[in-house]
Amino acid sequence: MLKEYLIGIDIGGTKMEAGLVASSGKILLRRKVKTPLKCTKKEFVLSVVNLVRELIAEGDISIKEISGIGIGIPGVIDPVHGKVLLITNLPLTGINLATELRKSFKVHITVGNDANMAALGEHRAGLGRNAHNIVNISVGTGVGGGLIIGGKLITGSFFAGGELGHMIIQMDGPKCTCGKKGCLEAFAGRWAIEKEIRAAVKKGEKTVITKYGQGKLKSIKSRLLKKALDKHDPLVTRVIKEASKALGAACVSIMHIVDPEYIILGGGVIEACGDFMLPLIRKAAESDPFLSTVSGCIIAESTLGDDSIILGAAAAASPDR
Ligand SMILES: [Zn+2]
C-alpha cells in the first residue's frame, strides 16, 4: 500500500485541528475539536489519538497509508525526541508526546513548537516558498516566532530559539507572562491588549467593547477588537497602535539580526486586525534609516492563516524531509 498522506495537527489553547495532507501539500480533510484543558496527561493524549482516528475514518483510509504525523503545540519542545519541555496553558509539561502517540500509531511522529511549524508551513506552501530566510511572527493570545535560515528551521542549541515574543522591546516596560519586563508579547499579545483595555476602562475610559461584550471584559476576542477598530473606538485604536508599533520595533531588530526576505505575520490578532496593523508595522520598520537603504525585506500578512501550522507540522513529519 502506498504511503501517500501525512497528518498535521495544530494544538492550541482553545482548539485542536488535524488535517489530512496529500503529498502535493494540499489539505484534503480537516477535523477540529475543543482542546481538553482540565484533564490528565493520559486523557489529553487519548483525545489526540481519537482526533487522528476520526480523521482517518472520515477520510476512509487506513493508518498504513499515513507516512507521518506532525504536531505543533505552543510550548518549548525538544523536536529531536518529541518531548514537551515547558508549556504553560496545557497539561503536557514533561511528557514525550511522540512516544505516547507512537503506542497507538506506528508511524513517524514529529512534535514541535507551533510558531516554528507555522514558519515551516510558510516556507513550504506560503509566501516564503522560494525564500532562503524567512521569519514568522504569530500574534495570538501570546506571541510566537519561527526562523527559517538558509532553508532550515532554527530552534537553537537548547530548543528555545525563535521565541520572538520574549524579545525585549522596552527596558523596564510592562510585565510579561515569562517574568521579564518589556517583552514584545507584553505589548502585542492579546492578553496584553486585553489587560490594557481593562485597565483603561477601570480608570473610567469609554469603549464600544463594553457594549459588544455586554459589559463583560473577561475575554476580548480578536474579532471584537476588529469591530471596535471599524467603529474608530479611541481606546482600542490607541492600544492596537501601540501593539503595532511594538511589532514594528521587533521587525527592525529581526531585520538587523537575520536580514530575511520575508517577515510573515499571522495569528488570530493579525487575522482579525491585520488590515489596520500591517501598514503601521511597516511604517515603524521603514523608519529605520539603515535598513530602508539596504534591506529588501517584505513584511506581509500570512496567506495561509492557521493552516500554516498544519502544513508545517505535516512537512516536518515527512520521512523524506
Ligand atoms: Zn516575556
Q: Are 316 and 120 in contact (CB under 8 A)?
A: yes
CA dist 287 → 248, 254, 283 (Å): 9, 14, 6
Radius of gyration of the chain measured on its C-alpha atoms: 20
What is the distance in A from the centroid of ligand 1 to the CA of 190?
13
Note down pLDDT in tens along the chain; length 321 residues. Answer: 567 899 999 998 889 999 999 988 899 999 999 999 888 999 999 999 999 999 999 999 999 999 999 999 998 899 888 899 988 778 899 999 999 999 999 999 999 999 999 999 999 999 999 899 999 999 998 999 999 999 999 999 988 899 999 999 999 999 998 899 999 999 999 999 999 999 999 999 999 988 886 667 778 899 999 999 999 999 999 999 999 999 999 999 999 999 999 999 999 999 999 999 999 999 999 888 887 777 789 999 999 998 999 999 999 998 776
What is the distance in A from the centroid of ligand 1 to the CA of 138?
14
Q: What is the pLDDT of residue 37?
A: 86
Q: What is the CATH number of domain 130-301?
A: 3.30.420.40
Which residue in the block uniquely carries the three cell numbers 500574534?
139
What is the distance in A from the centroid of ligand 1 to the CA of 122?
24
Which residues belong to CATH 3.30.420.40 in the chain? Answer: 5-121+307-317, 130-301
Question: Residue 226: how many CA atoms within 13 Å on its side-chain side?
Answer: 11
> What residues contact residue 192 under an 8 Å CB cut-off, 6+ apart?
174, 176, 185, 186, 243
Spatial strand order in the sheet of 108-113? 27-34, 15-22, 5-11, 66-73, 108-113
Q: What is the pLDDT of residue 1?
A: 59
What is the distance in A from the centroid of ligand 1 to the CA of 182?
7
What is the distance in A from the centroid of ligand 1 to the CA of 180?
5
What is the distance in A from the centroid of ligand 1 to the CA of 166?
4
**Which one is the CATH code of 5-121+307-317: 3.60.15.10, 3.30.420.40, 1.10.10.10, 3.20.20.70?**
3.30.420.40
What is the distance in A from the centroid of ligand 1 to the CA of 146?
16
- The three-point CA angle 236-237-239 to 5° equals 65
Question: Residue 269: how many CA atoms within 13 Å on its side-chain side?
Answer: 28
What is the distance in A from the centroid of ligand 1 to the CA of 238?
22
What is the distance in A from the centroid of ligand 1 to the CA of 254?
16
What is the distance in A from the centroid of ligand 1 to the CA of 145?
12
Report residue 92 as a C-alpha cell: 503536557
What is the distance in A from the centroid of ligand 1 to the CA of 175?
8
The model's pTM is 0.92
Q: What is the pLDDT of residue 207?
A: 92
Closest CA to 63 of 98, 108, 25, 33: 108
Interaxial angle between packed helices 114-125 and 307-317, expressed in degrees from 0 to 180 and rounded to the nearest 10: 90
Which residue in the block uniquely carries the three cell numbers 475543543?
34
What is the distance in A from the centroid of ligand 1 to the CA of 307?
26
Q: What is the pLDDT of residue 321?
A: 65
What is the distance in A from the centroid of ligand 1 to the CA of 163?
9
What is the distance in A from the centroid of ligand 1 to the CA of 2?
45
What is the distance in A from the centroid of ligand 1 to the CA of 49?
32
Q: What is the pLDDT of residue 214?
A: 63
What is the distance in A from the centroid of ligand 1 to the CA of 84?
19
